[in-house]
């Protein structure tokens, strides 16, 4: 920890002028340079690049992916990436697990809930502090996901990381993180999210700690904005609220390590400089952040409760139309106005597997027990729904317009069953009594008509 302030980080001015350091838009074709004239004009790979830079393409999709999905970025860097790895040695990262990870001793079938994973005194970085809760699918076939809780109290100094296994969707709950990536710097606070693309190198500084949050590691096709259908061209997450950093680079010649996650295994390589040496870039494969407060929820305005897919922020397709590898869904402050309606989420069994996390406040279906930093899991075809007090309260409430205040939870929902890790089953603060929350639900039926 410590010397981050003495680093020289050269950063471009924002071309938009309004939000220093970021460019607005989702999946845009951006261009940015930290030194004037570093970006070639009119071509990608000139015979010689300005400043003696090397041109390199980073392909986030197959070359032949359809135009609307095709993502790549051209980087103009101090050294090509082949100089940012040497020989690899395998290292242990016992708490960061990948699918398939099916322990025959563990029971993933059940409704589970955890208190926040507690901070530790041991120094943990964003990488070494990753604690996998569930895995789904198969990292080797690029299907499925893993859900993690991260604990971070130490900055990565001359330590860099990238994952070949998928993009990371980061959902902070406590603390401030700064992601120094190859393509620029992202500051991330609670109520924001960030996406770090597959293959992108970065280090993570803990600006204010200890930091805790949630990560969805997406092994499959990238997150995209959902189609809105009849909702039209606006609301939900709007593209202009996504921010991609302007170019920033480190010209730093010091012994450094790069850790690489590849097919579920971790490898380390040693180099003599910072790999964050991209002086200019253009393209559409880039890290991005988003303020969840800009999410515009759409919902019921007369009766009944739409499916929670109405709250989808981002969706990662699976190849089967309409069935996501992952949906990222947000339950935030909103008005409840439906008439003659049971307003909380209804009782439910789902082919999709639902992992939820609480960012702050109180979730309407579970007034108690699901606390900020906590996690719950309702796996494939496992019933769930309001607990007894929530059911009784919502069944008897006077249905005036009510604003749900002080609430922000999310869901990572996947088509693949989620398997508990040994950490989630044995070390994390599992609530043994979660299933008892439905104990108080009464049989009201007695064969006679009328409301009970
Ligand atoms: Fe559900």
Q: Alpha-carbon distance 196 to 174, whole Å?
A: 19
Which candidate, 289, 291, 196, places its Cα nearest to that of 245? 289
Q: What is the pLDDT at residue 19?
A: 42
Distance from Cα 16 to the centre of ligand 1, integer Å? 41
318 C-alpha to center of ligand 1: Å? 19
Cis peptide before 210 (omega within 30 of 0): yes
Q: Smallest Cα–Cα separation from 204: which of 172, 236, 247?
A: 172
How buried is residue 255: exposed, middle or buried, by Cβ count under 10 Å (0-12/13-18/19+)?
exposed
* Tens place of pLDDT per residue across the chain (452 aa): 334 345 677 777 655 444 459 999 999 999 999 999 999 999 999 999 999 999 999 999 999 999 999 999 999 999 999 999 999 999 999 999 999 999 999 999 999 999 999 999 999 999 999 999 999 999 999 999 999 999 999 999 999 999 999 999 999 999 999 999 999 999 999 999 999 999 999 999 999 999 999 999 999 999 999 999 999 999 999 999 999 999 999 999 999 999 999 999 999 999 999 999 999 999 999 999 999 999 999 999 999 999 999 999 999 999 999 999 999 999 999 999 999 999 999 999 999 999 999 999 998 777 788 999 999 999 999 999 998 888 999 999 999 999 999 999 999 999 999 999 999 999 999 999 999 999 999 999 999 999 88
Query: What is the radius of gyration, based on Cα positions, of the chain?
Result: 23
Determine the distance separating the centroid of ligand 1 and the alpha carbon of 349, expressed in angstroms: 6
For residue 277, the CA-to-ligand 1 centroid distance in Å is 44
Q: Is 419 labelled as part of a ligand binding site? A: no
388-404 core/surface letters (b: 16 or more CB in 10 A; e: else) = eebbeebeeeeeeeeeb
Report whether 164 contacts 145 (CB < 8 A).
no
Distance CA(214)–CA(147), nearest Å, equals 7
- Residue 112's nearest CA partner among 390, 362, 412, 382 is 382
Contact 319, 356 (CB under 8 A): no
Centre of ligand 1 from the C-alpha of residue 178, in Å:
33
Q: Which pLDDT belongs to residue 249?
A: 96
Q: How far is the CA of 280 from the centre of ligand 1 (A)?
A: 44
Domains identified in the chain and CATH numbers: 5-292 (2.60.120.10), 295-436 (2.60.120.10)
Cα 20 to ligand 1 centre (Å): 40
Taking the CB of residue 240, how many other CB atoms lie within 10 A of it? 11
What spacing in Å lies between the alpha carbon of 81 and ligand 1's midpoint?
A: 44
38: left (phi over 0), alpha (psi -120 to 50) or beta: alpha
Please give the distance, rounded to the nearest whole angstrom, from the Cα atom of residue 357 to the centre of ligand 1: 13
Those residues whose beta carbon sits under 5 angstroms from the ion ligand 1 are 348, 350, 354
Q: pLDDT tens across 173-221, in order? A: 999 999 999 999 999 999 999 999 999 999 999 999 999 999 999 999 9
What distance in Å separates the CA atoms of residue 327 and residue 355, rounded to the nearest whole number? 11
Torsion sign across C-alpha atoms 421, 425, 430, 435: positive
Q: How far is the CA of 196 from the centre of ligand 1 (A)?
A: 27
pLDDT at position 13 is: 66
Q: What share of the chain is helix, strand, coil (3-state, %, to 5)?
A: 10, 40, 50
Other beta carbons less than 10 A from residue 442's beta carbon:
9
On whether the CB atoms of residues 37 and 14 are closer than 8 A, the answer is: no
- Return the active site residues: 305
* pLDDT given at position 451: 85
Cα–Cα distance between 403 and 410 in angstroms, integer?
A: 18
Report CA(86)–ligand 1 centroid distance (Å). 46
Give the pLDDT of residue 15: 52
CB 38 within 8 A of CB 61: no
Q: How far away, in angstroms, is 157 Cα from ligand 1 center?
A: 41
The vertex-418 CA angle with 222 and 309, nearest 5°, equals 55
Between CA 299 and CA 292 the distance in angstroms is: 17
Residue 121 exposed, middle or buried by CB count within 10 Å (0-12, 13-18, 19+): exposed
How far apart, in whole angstroms, are the C-alpha atoms of residue 195 and residue 215?
Answer: 10
């Amino acid at each position: 920890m410590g010397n981050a302030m003495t680093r020289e980080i050269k950063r471009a001015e924002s071309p938009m002028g309004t939000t220093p350091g970021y460019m607005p838009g989702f999946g845009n074709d951006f261009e940015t340079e930290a030194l004037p004239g570093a970006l070639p004009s009119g071509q990608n790979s000139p015979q010689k690049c300005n400043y003696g830079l090397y041109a390199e393409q980073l392909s986030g999709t197959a070359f032949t992916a359809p135009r609307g999905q095709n993502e790549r970025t051209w980087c103009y860097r101090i050294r090509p990436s082949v100089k940012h790895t040497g020989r690899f040695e395998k290292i242990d990262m016992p708490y960061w697990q990948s699918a398939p990870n099916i322990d025959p001793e563990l029971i993933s079938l059940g409704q589970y809930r955890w208190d926040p994973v507690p901070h530790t005194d041991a120094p943990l970085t964003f990488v070494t502090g990753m604690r996998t809760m569930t895995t789904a699918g198969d990292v080797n076939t690029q299907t499925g996901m893993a859900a993690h809780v991260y604990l971070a109290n130490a900055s990565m100094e001359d330590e860099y990381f990238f994952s070949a296994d998928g993009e990371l969707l980061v959902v902070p709950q406590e603390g401030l993180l700064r992601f120094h990536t190859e393509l620029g710097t992202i500051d991330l606070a609670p109520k924001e999210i960030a996406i770090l693309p597959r293959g992108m190198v970065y280090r993570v500084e803990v600006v204010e700690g200890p930091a805790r949050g949630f990560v969805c590691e997406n092994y499959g096709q990238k997150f995209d904005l959902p189609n809105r259908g009849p909702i039209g061209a606006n609301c939900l997450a709007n593209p202009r609220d996504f921010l991609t950093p302007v170019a920033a680079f480190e010209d730093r010649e010091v012994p450094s390590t790069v850790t690489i996650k590849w097919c579920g295994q971790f490898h380390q390589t040693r180099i003599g400089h910072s790999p964050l040496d991209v002086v200019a870039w253009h393209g559409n494969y880039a890290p991005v952040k988003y303020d969840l407060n800009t999410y515009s929820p759409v919902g019921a305005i007369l009766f009944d409760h739409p499916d929670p897919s109405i709250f989808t922020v981002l969706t990662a397709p699976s190849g089967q139309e309409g069935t996501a590898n992952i949906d990222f869904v947000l339950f935030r402050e909103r008005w409840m106005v439906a008439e003659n309606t049971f307003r909380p989420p209804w009782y439910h069994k789902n082919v999709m597997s639902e992992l939820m996390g609480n960012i702050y406040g109180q979730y309407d279906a579970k007034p108690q027990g699901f606390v900020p930093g906590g996690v719950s899991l309702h796996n494939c075809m496992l019933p769930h729904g309001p607990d007894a007090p929530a059911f009784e309260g919502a069944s008897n409430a006077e249905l005036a317009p009510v604003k749900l205040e002080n609430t922000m939870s999310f869901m990572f929902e996947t088509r693949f069953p989620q398997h508990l890790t040994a950490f989630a089953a044995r070390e994390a603060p599992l609530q043994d009594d979660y299933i008892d929350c439905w104990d108080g639900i009464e049989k009201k039926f007695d064969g006679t008509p009328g409301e009970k």
